[in-house]
Structure 1
């Protein structure tokens, strides 16, 4: 039975010795000093910082000699209990590589980075329709996607009404009656002949059986309903041709970022198929409405495409530039500690003291973040080593919440 008391005493002695050794090691390498709110001298345990005494002595928990500390006076804030001030020695500042910078006030250019897809500029699509009943002859272009040039013949169109109008024009010229010639020209235009074709008929002096169906502009064939021998009727669409010298990129912008961009502002696009190249465009239109599933809105951006290198369907990384915001506070983005529910920075005070501060972060661009609330101009914030300080501050906050009952118990004071 005597073995149990002896064993218990042995365990206590070993634990006390181990605790004292660990506390001594921690005391040697401890970079942070316990702080309070009143600026008074007190004694605490390096191993148990929740212990605070008004006089020197030993720790009631582990028996280690208490260490004298001086509380740093600081203004009481709403978060003083959870975000305490932390003091770091000059040597530890160098060892941790702690760097600081000032909060700057100035101009901040807004930007939205997103993705988009190249589409045909709908304003540059030309539709060819039949003006008279007839048939397709001498087909020259056979497939959708073929490139055509302005004035290129797509096919020949034989229409009895068109052929008769040519003969009337030639008869009117032989008669010398200007009124008849003008009326014959007008009729030819109504059935589909253009001015150049009418002049060609007059130069030849004979009617042409099948007038050529000409491409109105350089472009790509989007739709083609022209097949040799096909019968056509007035109003029937024969082909659609898109001019690709200018294209649209339709970008998807998150709802929360719509306020950053306006029509007329510049934009940039980059393509995986064209590495290293940047294309410059202009925000042309913000479509009304937001997708109820993706919570994004469509934005139309116009890009010049003189060599047709951008083709419909290509995906792009798009940067949309908004206007400038003046008189805003910014800090390096690396100074922010994002916890998921809030953003915190470490504010550098005097005498190697640091204080976590909760902030409201705004837009981020080129390594700088707008601060909407929580900081003042010219305050200094930590940009390197802040995570170590924040971890220490979090521990101090937890110890601080426990220190009131522990202090009262260890000092013999009542509640």
Structure 2
């Protein structure tokens, strides 16, 4: 009897546990298996007709069937017809907007100030270069201790020469003068001048009535020696260069002007210059000329400023900062540069509409100066753009699948982008086959796009125009060229391929 009681107790506890487990399972499981399948759909995003499927991380691309996203390892999300507000407007609670400290700024019209800081370097004024040459054949008797880079004063001795032709002609001149043959003496004097003898040396010969066997060449100007190409004992021919001297009364400041600013610098423009050697001391200088040749390596032009250097303080090699101030010739639409977002596929801003509502807006931009950016297309004067917190708004818009408004739909007629201001459209290419054509769309089986994160599949695309499909039919093998737009990928070109070269596409 004592052994039976414990056994009955264990059996009773086990039965009670089984009953409790059955009750728990009955409560947890749905009464209808279809309820379990319906729950996720209900929680997803509502009901109604499905317009398309999309990847929340790449909402610009739409798909006509559910399935795995080709971009991310996740299921595509449906977009329903009764989604509520417009798919181009993002709604944010006004309190959240205030807490995030979002700031806006108006789109204004005016002239963009193009302030730029250029670099320059002081070089010798080559128009002040002097070549010292011998006018007759000579022998070098002496060279003063000089070297390239030395500073010499005007009249300083450089080289002592012996000119044989001058010696014989001087003896003839003095003999004719002594004999009183003035006419012949005048002819002899003229001959010496033609042989290159300086007039001052000839006068010294006549005054002293003595032949000058040596001739000392002196510096014609004060300047820096560029080269000294003579040594004692050399034999020189007529016209041979002895030394090169560059004057320092004026110097050039050569400024490197980027190709993009070529039209901003013109001759006679006044620029502000600050030398590193004299910090805090600015001077104004006028552009004497802009050289016509572009440096192919640095893609810069040279603007030349001629500076007075009578005191010799500006030395060749000095560096300088050159401030360039200018503005656009016409009024343009301007926004703060910080309001512009570059996604890699497009450029956009977040437009603040009524309270708590924001619109992602594609824009085409022109130049900028670091503070303001020119808007060529996409905005109107007076609209408010977000300049603080726009990155959060853009992320939220992408998560909700809100697509940016195309630039052309918001632009004024006069703001049509020109070829010089809008970047060239990038096309993504792959081989494929036409599966169906209907209502401005084409269904394609295509291979991998090397420039897109899109593997081979079969899907529908919007045609840029009906002419893209002209002459083609279902089943044709084609080379596909797509461009990214605010509404997804658009077929810009379909080029027929030989059937033998058609890709084997496995959607």
Shorter-normalised TM-score: what interval?
A: 0.5 to 0.7
Q: CA deviation at 1:324?
A: 4.5
Looking at structure 1, the residues matched to 177 and 378 of structure 2 have their Cα atoms a distance apart, in angstroms, of 87
Quote the residue 2:382 is aligned against.
378
- Kindly provide the CA deviation profile for residues 223-277 of structure 1, in whole angstroms up to 9, marking residues without a partner as x: 11122333221111111122242124262634x5434444443445556555445
- Kindly provide the CA deviation profile for residues 34-62 of structure 1, in whole angstroms up to 9, marking residues without a partner as x: xxxxxxxxxxx9x96x44689xxxxxxxx
- Kindly provide the CA deviation profile for residues 65-94 of structure 1, in whole angstroms up to 9, marking residues without a partner as x: xxxx99666xxxxxxx6xx32334443333
Quote the residue 1:147 is aligned against.
151
**Which fold has the larger relative contact order, with Cα–Cα distance below 8 Å and residues 6 or more apart in sequence?**
1
Quote the residue 1:188 is aligned against.
193
Q: Is the 8 A contact 2:262 2:301 kept in 1?
A: no
Gaps of 5+ in 2: 1-17, 30-41, 50-81, 405-507
Looking at structure 2, the residues matched to 388 and 111 of structure 1 have their Cα atoms a distance apart, in angstroms, of 31
Looking at structure 2, the residues matched to 132 and 225 of structure 1 have their Cα atoms a distance apart, in angstroms, of 17
Quote the residue 1:304 is aligned against.
307
Quote the residue 1:223 is aligned against.
227
SS of corresponding position for 1:216: coil
1:287 matches 2:276: no
Quote the residue 1:16 is aligned against.
none
- Superposition RMSD on alpha carbons, in Å? 4.3
Q: CA deviation at 1:197?
A: 5.3
- Kindly provide the CA deviation profile for residues 6-53 of structure 1, in whole angstroms up to 9, marking residues without a partner as x: 59959xxxxxxxxxxxxxxxxxxxxxxxxxxxxxxxxxx9x96x4468
1:253 matches 2:248: no
Looking at structure 1, the residues matched to 348 and 291 of structure 2 have their Cα atoms a distance apart, in angstroms, of 35
The correspondence of residues 84-233 of structure 1 with structure 2, limited to 5 A, is 84-110=88-114, 113=117, 115=119, 117-163=121-167, 184=189, 187-188=192-193, 191=196, 193=198, 206-233=210-237
- Kindly provide the CA deviation profile for residues 99-126 of structure 1, in whole angstroms up to 9, marking residues without a partner as x: 2222232233445655555443332322
Q: Taking structure 2 as the reference length, what is the TM-score of the superposition?
A: 0.54
Q: Taking structure 1 as the reference length, what is the TM-score of the superposition?
A: 0.64
Q: CA deviation at 1:133?
A: 1.4
Cα 1:209–1:283 shift into 2, 3 Å? same
Quote the residue 1:243 is aligned against.
247
Q: CA deviation at 1:176?
A: 9.9
More deviation in 145-154 or 232-241? 145-154
Q: Is the 8 A contact 1:266 1:283 kept in 2?
A: no
The correspondence of residues 8-27 of structure 1 with structure 2, limited to 5 A, is none
- Kindly provide the CA deviation profile for residues 350-395 of structure 1, in whole angstroms up to 9, marking residues without a partner as x: 3243223222222222622222222222332222222222222232
SS of corresponding position for 2:331: strand
Gaps of 5+ in 1: 11-44, 55-68, 74-80, 401-415
Q: CA deviation at 1:220?
A: 1.4
